[in-house]
Chains A and B, each alone.
Chain A
Amino acid sequence: DQQVKQNSPSLSVQEGRISILNCDYTNSMFDYFLWYKKYPAEGPTFLISISSIKDKNEDGRFTVFLNKSAKHLSLHIVPSQPGDSAVYFCAASAGGSNYKLTFGKGTLLTVNP
């Protein structure tokens, strides 16, 4: 069973607009959440994280929102740029074991010029 779900396989956005990528989780033990970005033929790269004690974390154009009651998190990219086109993976961990990440299937973001 998928404990981390990214229900949108793909998303297309115009350059300069906001990209919103969504992620749901089922395991209530998850207390740390991360987003990774992956370009073709490269390994995933860490983007941003959030602890369950927070509901928002911001880093430049990237903001992650966490809604614990809904078991939902989202990644906002504003403004979107063509170089943001990649697969975005949501990941989660539990109990301080932040090496043991459970990943979603990913969402392919395409930012059109």
Chain B
Amino acid sequence: GAGVSQTPSNKVTEKGKYVELRCDPISGHTALYWYRQSLGQGPEFLIYFQGTGAADDSGLPNDRFFAVRPEGSVSTLKIQRTERGDSAVYLCASSFGQNTGELFFGEGSRLTVL
């Protein structure tokens, strides 16, 4: 399809394990974003990429979280030593670089840490 694609759609892991979540943005979108939505909450900003570089990573909660976008397209969110509090839906979005706030979100990756 032409939308933002996220894999896996569901991931169940054990506390302490390492997890990678992948995002394929809409073709031609230069900006890519990661948000996290915990149960009963709205999405919460994590990181913003413009091209290959992280323009703003101020939302990453701690150094266990890291994201890359090496070729300016696909991005991977990496979580080390997962904790139960990391359980959430991780949303990826992309946009043309106009900074209008009109983000195109994927369906999300639901992470459950047991």
CB closest residue in chain B, given A90: B42
Tell me if B14 is interfacial: C-beta within 8 Å of chain A. Answer: no
Which residues of chain B have C-beta atoms less than 8 A from A96's C-beta? Answer: 99
B40 at the binding interface (Cβ < 8 Å): yes
User: Are B105 and A44 in contact, with the CB atoms below 8 A?
Assistant: yes
Q: Are A99 and B31 in contact (CB under 8 A)?
A: yes
A21 CB, nearest partner CB in chain B, Å? 13
The CA of A75 and the CA of B4, in the complex, are separated in Å by 27
Q: Is B20 an interface residue (CB 8 A)?
A: no
CB-based contact A100/B45 at 8 Å = yes
Residue A98, interface by CB 8 Å: yes
Contact B42 A43 (CB under 8 A): no
Q: Is the CB of A100 within 8 A of B41?
A: no
The one of B58, B93, B102, B108 in contact with A49, judged by C-beta atoms closer than 8 angstroms, is: B102
User: Is there an interface contact between A99 and B103, defined as CB atoms closer than 8 Å?
Assistant: yes
Interface size counted on chain B using CB atoms at 8 A: 28
Complex Cα gap A93–B95 (Å): 16
B16 at the interface (CB under 8 A from A): no
Least CB separation from B92: chain A residue: A43
Residue of B nearest to A102 (CB): B45
Cross-interface CB contact of B101 among A4, A41, A42, A91, cutoff 8 Å: A91
Q: Does B67 contact A (CB under 8 A)?
A: no
B45 to A46, Cβ gap below 8 A?
no
Question: Within 8 Å CB of A104, what residues of B?
Answer: 42
Are B4 and A43 in contact, with the CB atoms below 8 A?
Answer: yes
Once bound together, how far apart are the Cα atoms of A34 and B100, in whole Å? 10
Q: Give me 11 other A-B pairs in contact (C-beta within 8 A), A43-B107, A105-B41 excluded.
A: A4-B42, A32-B101, A44-B43, A44-B103, A46-B101, A49-B100, A49-B102, A98-B99, A98-B101, A100-B58, A103-B41
Can you spell out 8 A-B residue pairs with CB atoms less than 8 angstroms apart? A4-B42, A43-B107, A43-B108, A44-B103, A49-B102, A99-B31, A99-B33, A99-B103
